[in-house]
Amino acid sequence: MMAHLILRVTIKLLFAPIIIFALYVQFHGDYGPGGGFQAGVIFAAAFVLHALGFGIDETKKVLPPKVLPWLMVIGVLFYAGTGVATLLLGENFLDYDILQPDSHHHAGQHIGIILVELGVGIAVASTMLTIFYHFAGREPEIRDEDW
């Protein structure tokens, strides 16, 4: 297990900055390049990196696979729910203006965009991880040694 020492130390060092970068990309999407998709993918990449260094089983302890379907659903419903909320408030689907109607400066639009981007981020991160878990967790038909 010492063979992967440098790799593992590097991954440990990188893990937190990657997550913080993902959060930055998530919430800075209004001002610079980036947004929910990119953030979600970067977030998933952090865990993929962890799995590569420590093995998929360790990663599954950090982020149990059972949580992921919930997060996927929450992500989609965050987005769709924002739309439904605007419907219930009496405006068209995804018309964010109604979320803060008195504001002169489109606070409604800002709230709406932040909410939906958050939904995108959660959904993409958890879905990408789900897909990765399923691939990485599948027993290969032919063991590595047999190739």
Partner 1 sequence: MAIPGLEQLPVLPVVIPLVAAPLTLLMKPGRAPWAWATLVSWVTFVTTLLLLEGVWVNGPIEYAMGGWGAPDGMTAPLGITYYIDLANALVLTLVAGIASVVFPYAYYSVESEIDHRQTPAFYTALLICFTGLLGVTITGDAFNVFVFLEISSLSTYALVAMGARNDRRALTASFNYLVMGTIGATFFVIGIGLLYQATGTLNMLDLHQQLMGQSNRMVEAGFAFIITGIGLKLAMVPLHLWLPNAYCYAPSAISAFLAATATKVQVYIILRFMFTVFGFEFAFLDVALNAFIILGIAGMFYASFVAVFRDNVKQMLAYSSIAQIGYMLLGISFGTVDGVAASLIHVFNHALMKAALFMGVGCVVLRIGYSNFSAFNGLAKRMPWTAWGLIISGLSLVGVPLTVGFISKWKLMEAAFQTQTIIPPLLIVLLIGASSLLAAIYIGRLAYAMLLQPVPEDAEPVKEAPHLMRITMWIMVLANIWFFFQTDVTVGVATRAAQALLDTGLGYGGAY
Partner 2 sequence: MEDFQTPLQPIILLDLAILSLLIATAFAMMRVRRLFAVVMLSGIFSFLAALFFVSLDAVDVAFTEAAVGAGISTVLMLTGMLLTARREKPAVPGHKNIAMVICLVTGAALFYATIDMPAFGDPNAPANIHIGQEFVERTPQDIEIPNIVTAVLASYRGFDTLGEVLVVFAAGVGVMLLLGAGSLRGGRKVKDDRPGDDETEHDGREF
Partner 3 sequence: MDIIEFIVGRYNYWIFITLMMMGLYIVISRGNLVKTIVGLNLFQTSVFIFYISIGKIVGGTAPIIVGNYKADDSYGDGHGDGYGADATVTDHGNSGASENLHDTDGLDLPSNSLSADVPAGGEVSAASGSLHQMPETAADMASGTDAAYASVADAAAQGAEVIYTNPLPHVLILTAIVVGVATTAVGLALAVRIREAYGTIEEDELEAEDHFAEFGVPLHPEQGQGRGQGSQTQGGAA
Chain residues binding partner 1 by CB under 8 A are 69-70, 72-73, 76-77, 80-81, 83-84, 87, 91-97
123 near partner 3, judged by CB under 8 A: no
Per-residue mark of binding to partner 3, 82-101 (x: CB under 8 A): ---------------x----
Which run of H or E residues covers position 36? helix 36-54
65 near partner 3, judged by CB under 8 A: no
Which of 94, 98, 100, 111 is the binder for partner 2 (CB under 8 A)? 94
Let me know: does 93 contact 86? Beta carbons within 8 Å: yes
User: Could you give the C-alpha distances from 50 to 42, 60, 68, 93, in angstroms and in order?
Assistant: 12, 10, 17, 39
Size of the site for partner 2 (CB under 8 A): 51
Phi–psi pair at 64, nearest 5 degrees: -65, 140
Phi–psi pair at 104, nearest 5 degrees: -80, -25
- Determine the straight-line distance between the first and last CA of the chain, rounded to whole angstroms: 23
Cα gap 80→87, rounded to integer Å: 10
Give the footprint of partner 3 on this chain (CB under 8 A).
31-33, 37, 97, 104-106, 109-110, 124, 131, 134-135, 138, 141
Binding site for partner 2 (CB under 8 A): 25, 29-35, 37-38, 41-42, 44-45, 48, 69, 72, 75-76, 79-80, 83, 93-94, 96, 105-106, 109-110, 112-113, 116-117, 119-120, 123-124, 126-128, 130-132, 134-136, 138, 140-141, 144, 147
